[in-house]
Amino acid sequence: LFRLRKLCMFCDVKPSVCNSSGICTSRCNITSICAGDDEICAAAWRRDGENVTVETVCHPPSEPFHGVMPDNYNATECVMKQYRHLGPDVYICFCIEDECNDQLVFTPRTSSEPPSPPMALLVLVPFVVLALVLVSFMYVCKVYTLRPSKLKCNSGQERSVLIGQLGRSDSISNHLNHNTELLPIQLDGIVGKGRFSQVFRARLGQRMGENEAFQMVAVKIFHLEEFLSWKGEREIFLDAELHHENVLHFLTAEERPAERQYWIITAYHQRGNLRDYLRAHRVNWASLCRMGGDVARGVAHLHGDRTETGGVKAAMAHRDLKSDNVLVKDDLSCCICDFGLSVRLDSDMSKDELANQGQVGTVRYMAPEVLESRLNLENIESFKQADVYSMALVLWEITSRCTAAGDVWEYEPPFGKLDHPCIESMKDTVIRDRERPEIHSSWRTHPGVAAVCEMMVECWDQDPEARLTAHCVTERFDELVRSSFICDSEKKLNTD
């Protein structure tokens, strides 16, 4: 007998308006067909100061969810239970009905209401039957809408692929890496090329009856001899705690033996990378704050050992931060991409293991200590400090195209006088001559831009220990945004 798998809301971590009382909805707009036949629906609600979030997922009942083993998961409602050992404001629930984790029940419903009079039941029965028929019909339609066409894999098994909200390149919120069969993808054209791979714009297809719908995705293709590069980036992406709005959204990784290729499939952002965007566009003060703040938030998330909701994560260093590896979304927010050279910073890594990481990155963006191969391998913070130096150069690129301080120069990369710099020429410039990209005097005339310039100077300091942390840069950008809002509000009041 064919049985549909569970349907659960699946939106990972997103802001919530719940207040830990009564009944409220998750506000998740994505339904997932669970990967396993026995999976249940789960939700986690957390308040951390003013930050309130909710997470909705499919989850196997035999595994802990945020350290909590599922119990009473045969419930038809997602009744939130408080777990004080995880924090004073942490609630988790489990349930088995389709999409039951959409409604979060902080106060369990009671059945103490008196029954309706018999006459009322007689009147209501026909309406209830009609409603059930309509609901059943809508459910069947919904399930068949969610179920894409099935494909045969080498083992003869079948599986279905869920596509998120069509029409949005970043709408696939649930990782598809639990799937074992190749996705129905059609490559459209190349949009980027790196040392080890090429990036294509592609269409992820889904058949709906006689019609087909597509969602644009990005496909990073590694050839057979670059297996280790693909494997390294795949392992970074498979860390669920990497998920963040300022980190490129990962869908899945695939082995394509017929094409002798390895694929990494991610969200697609049609505006392309930050470098190309800055070549073609100037930015205003608000965009400088947003883009710079987003880059800092992405780096801070990588470097941190905690998620925004307080969960434990592995700290990572990107090691190839540059404007080419920052993507611009439709709303001009930014996310960091290309984790081919990234490394997890485990505290138990030996000095030899750290030394084997080598001198990597893009020469133009390398920190002085990386150019000299003198990273302090006794301290994993050294890798983060090198990232911060590179981040400062990206902030300089954004600032150089900002209209807030008057005249805007044509775009050029950091150290633009060096056409194709090598290690030695960069060592002469950055270490011997202690040069940095020029901060024009006009930039200092705008208080906000001047503050960003001070951040850059502190981030590209010759001494790694003297540099700001990415978290500190994030806080400063947040303060700049708040100050700008206050100033704008005061100006409006004065005008009125």
- In order, the DSSP letters of 441-487 are GGGGGSHHHHHHHHHHHHHT-SSGGGSPPHHHHHHHHHHHHHHHHHH
Structural contact between residues 376 and 382, judged by C-beta atoms closer than 8 angstroms? yes
What tokens does 376 get? 């302090």
Structural contact between residues 368 and 342, judged by C-beta atoms closer than 8 angstroms? no
**CATH code 1.10.10.10 for 274-487:** no
CA-wise closest residue to 342 among 321, 324, 365? 321
Q: Which segments of 197-350 does DSSP mark as H helices, in order?
A: 227-237, 274-280, 285-303
Residues in Cβ contact with 327 at an 8 Å cutoff, skipping those fewer than 6 apart: 248, 269, 271, 272, 273, 274, 334, 335, 336, 337
Q: Quote the pLDDT of residue 137.
A: 67
With residue 396 as reference, give the H or E element that holds it. helix 381-399
What tokens does 261 get? 């290729």
Q: Are strands 40-48 and 334-336 parallel, antiparallel or unpaired?
A: unpaired
The b/e string for 303-323 (b: 16+ C-beta within 10 A; e otherwise) is bbeebebebebebbbbbbbbb
> How far is Cα 261 from Cα 337, in angstroms, rounded to an integer?
20
Give me the sign of the Cα torsion angle 303, 266, 8, 105: positive
Residues in Cβ contact with 76 at an 8 Å cutoff, skipping those fewer than 6 apart: 95, 96, 97, 100
Whether 352 is a known active-site residue: answer no
* Same fold? 7-105, 185-267: no
List 102, 320, 324, 387, catalytic entry: 320
Q: Quote the pLDDT of residue 110.
A: 46
Q: Quote the pLDDT of residue 488.
A: 59
Q: Quote the pLDDT of residue 121.
A: 52
Domain 185-267 CATH (choose: 3.40.50.880, 3.40.50.300, 3.30.200.20, 3.60.140.10): 3.30.200.20
Q: Quote the pLDDT of residue 13.
A: 84
Instruction: Count Cα atoms within 13 angstroms, Cβ side, for 87.
Output: 15
Q: Where are the domains of the chain?
A: 7-105, 185-267, 274-487
Domain 7-105 CATH (choose: 2.60.120.260, 3.20.20.80, 2.10.60.10, 2.60.120.620): 2.10.60.10
Chain-centre distance of CA 213, in angstroms?
24
Instruction: Profile the chain (496 residues) by mean pLDDT over runs of 10 residues.
Output: 72 86 88 86 89 90 88 89 86 93 79 46 66 70 41 32 34 41 89 88 74 85 91 89 92 91 95 96 96 97 88 91 96 95 82 65 95 87 96 98 89 93 95 96 94 98 97 96 67 48
With residue 132 as reference, give the H or E element that holds it. helix 118-146
Q: Quote the pLDDT of residue 181.
A: 76
pTM exceeds 0.75 for this model = no
Q: Quote the pLDDT of residue 371.
A: 94
SS3 215: strand
Give the 3-state secondary structure percentages of the chain, helix then strand then coil, rounded to 5: 35, 20, 45
Structural contact between residues 265 and 251, judged by C-beta atoms closer than 8 angstroms? yes
DSSP state of 114: P
